Structure 1
């Protein structure tokens, strides 16, 4: 009797071991896939990075923690303020954590610096915010935009609605250069005139500039009839508050949407009223995907979702489709190949798809204005702008 009980126990144990297999998963079940998310969780752009992390996690939460039927282990790393922290964090993700794909990255400078690390490891990158132009995009995809597209999409509108010259100003780093270049090139091509001395954008030291008053004096002296700018994070708060109290406060202010996006608008308060901005998303867009997204976001957040959260949410949606199409045992290579075969993506911003040449979205852009929305100020859509991407 005693030997029989031992034998029965051993048989049961053997059956259990066979069921889970060597990988710890039930036989026939899809294995866990590691995804690395690199975003600014400290520094100037902490609020942006936090929204990106939360947007990706929201998709996972509303899809049972799986993408493409596979359980996902999300490895989160801090990008910080740029390359000095972003590069070692990305290196750890691919060499130590051995993730199959990397997503996120707030800054264009960080993306450029991390690019060689991911290329060498042959790990696909699905960016969810700023992106400079890369020569080889075979493993690079973006759910946000190319940095120059923001300003380019609103340039004709500004040319048509401002009677006179426009002053361009922004931060002196890769993302600022790209954002302002997109506007100034398209604006002058459309027949617009820059008020800046020598027709060149005024760049302010980054991230050290906190007092913008001297620059406002230069804008006043230039005779500009409007201002176009790009700032984000804490710099956006400083710029807007000081602008509203300056001698140029009555000049129309146009900006890349990041100037008043998310938590910075709450911090700016009434100083931001009336600012025009251009972006690929607004929480008041009326479509089924956006209504579901906004409702799910508000379950755990006080304010509406941002473009940063939306783009990261879409990065997870892209991976959901691609991993599901990448076979029973997805690899970085098969996931990357599957992304290239995706068609239209239904998104809170409206439907979009990857460009075949740049691997960034072909998408519509929107002009917004900070207006009263009930008891709060919000970015509200004024009109559709151009569809950009090729």
Structure 2
């Protein structure tokens, strides 16, 4: 059963302090009263993703990836029926926090997964810590000090840029202009590239030697920024954008005075529904990602076939990582049950930590001991013709990252 949570209406300022105290008390009480996977034996899973706003396409794929795993596994995880509650993260903390609160307080979920934005992740994390349930993120994530109940099936947000930085330094004879959105995820993504690029001996073309930030989410006209790039003497551009912002950036880039400069990016720039919307403007863009749909392994062949049958499109890293979040829960719940343990948030969290290597559409990976994020390969992709359409075609391995 899927429930779409609606964001809470604005409340008067005079009530906010009282409500905040009440929320903290109720979450603590809920954790204390939680006895396991529900009185009916079902596992209650909360899925928090963007179903509106800039990253609607990302969140939709994440929801579909999780649901695909359930659909192809009899609606069960670890042999248990699943009650799936879905809530809209929107564009960040103002909508993500009330949506997560609803999942925790009203739906009383046993585990929370999803979350598109880094800002949303940081805002929701204290709620899951207080409630004592596992949080299995399935999109980019910032660094977290206490990962005792935090797991991730996608990547740390600085890794896409870190993975491609040395390749860009070798291929580009001159300075590179760095640009991205001004919010938590953008800062993490660009820091990963600029730090690794400069460490490899590269130089930024930006006039102050720092990344150029574009206001998020309101920037839709990138023309003034392209004018700055043209004056910088850059020999190439590196960026991070996703969703609607990626469509606007790429289409305008192709029509700008810097269209002849090679464009490198984190893979989200051309991922999923953004690529057909960009059309020919995206041709030849190089990107770094932990997944490509043409990877040749058994798990990916199964995943691609099932996804294509259900959606008639190419699967994305967003769908894959959420699909893997369901797979992690499936294996962890089975392991806990096989060990004769009651299925509770605590036993599931412990079982996740003992899973070891996991077979995935991206290839084999495992959780890092320090970060609880994947130790995994990263791939270089290029937008090329694949039959009658453009696609992200895998070019080569880039690096294996993770602690």
C-alpha separation between the residues in 2 aligned to 1:158 and 1:376?
26
Give the secondary-structure state (helix, strand or coil) at the position aligned to 1:300. helix
**CA distances 1:364-388 after superposition (whole Å, capped 9, x unpaired):** 0000000000011000011100000
TM-superposed CA distance for 1:24, in Å, is 8.1
- Aligned twin of 1:179: 189
Q: Are 1:381 and 2:391 matched, yes or no?
A: no
Inter-CA distance 386–24: structure 2 relative to 1 (3 Å threshold): closer
Give the secondary-structure state (helix, strand or coil) at the position aligned to 1:198. coil
| TM-score, normalisation: structure 2 | 0.89
> Equivalent of 2:219, from 209, 220, 226?
209
- Aligned twin of 1:306: 316
TM-superposed CA distance for 1:198, in Å, is 1.8
Q: How does 1:1-390 map to 2 (within 5 A)?
A: 31-327=41-337, 328-390=341-403
C-alpha separation between the residues in 2 aligned to 1:326 and 1:111?
27
- Aligned twin of 2:28: none
| TM-score, normalisation: structure 1 | 0.92
CA contact (8 A) 1:94 1:123 kept: no
Give the secondary-structure state (helix, strand or coil) at the position aligned to 1:63. coil
Alpha-carbon RMSD? 0.9
TM-superposed CA distance for 1:126, in Å, is 0.3
**CA distances 1:26-71 after superposition (whole Å, capped 9, x unpaired):** xxxxx11100000001111011000000000000010001111111
**CA distances 1:12-32 after superposition (whole Å, capped 9, x unpaired):** xxxxxxxxxxx886xxxxx11
C-alpha separation between the residues in 1 aligned to 2:194 and 2:302?
37
C-alpha separation between the residues in 2 aligned to 1:233 and 1:169?
16
C-alpha separation between the residues in 2 aligned to 1:87 and 1:65?
28
CA contact (8 A) 1:275 1:369 kept: yes
Count of residue correspondences: 363
CA contact (8 A) 1:67 1:323 kept: yes
Give the secondary-structure state (helix, strand or coil) at the position aligned to 1:316. helix
Gaps of 5+ in 2: 1-37
TM-superposed CA distance for 1:88, in Å, is 0.6
C-alpha separation between the residues in 2 aligned to 1:130 and 1:81?
14
TM-superposed CA distance for 1:329, in Å, is 2.7
**CA distances 1:221-276 after superposition (whole Å, capped 9, x unpaired):** 00000000000000000000000000000000000000000000010000000000
Inter-CA distance 74–296: structure 2 relative to 1 (3 Å threshold): same
Gaps of 5+ in 1: 1-22, 26-30
